[in-house]
Structure 1
């Protein structure tokens, strides 16, 4: 097969995959709608409801890189290398938060 034929084939496969995904989603939506109706709800009622979400408290400490203040670390997750490099002997940052 030539390169052009392979590209045409790839486009046709992508189109077939997209069509299959759309069809499967429509079938799933219909199954959910039937089940919701059997339970006395509409699909839209169930789809619109969201369960309780846990909210993570925002970090008030923002540590800025000493040479480039646009680089920050919010004290969550692993400490970046630039932060650990700027710790004094006691393990306290030599840079000011915020």
Structure 2
């Protein structure tokens, strides 16, 4: 039986199903597609990990934080840019000068300090 005959036979079988059977079939096909994509993704990850090992690396080391491509950093402590200002009362609090001012900056300015006083 060639591919065209198989398509014709499948089409005839589908035409004989009622709506509930077709919906069940669609769910089954959707699950099969998701399973296929998951398997292929895992195969690709495994191949990439193997290639990294062959070159003496771990895949996570090559990808940095484990995500490829561009995007916003989500690492804890990420400031979104170079530190320009530091809280003299708590050096762990920093600000890049971008985005909304942190509360500690506003409090320092209200108490008479300037941004230059807080410069890193």
Q: Could you tell me the TM-score, scaled by structure 1's length?
A: 0.49
Structure-2-length-normalised TM-score: 0.40
Point out which structure has higher relative CO (alpha carbons under 8 A, 6+ apart).
1
Structure richer in helix, relative to its length: 2
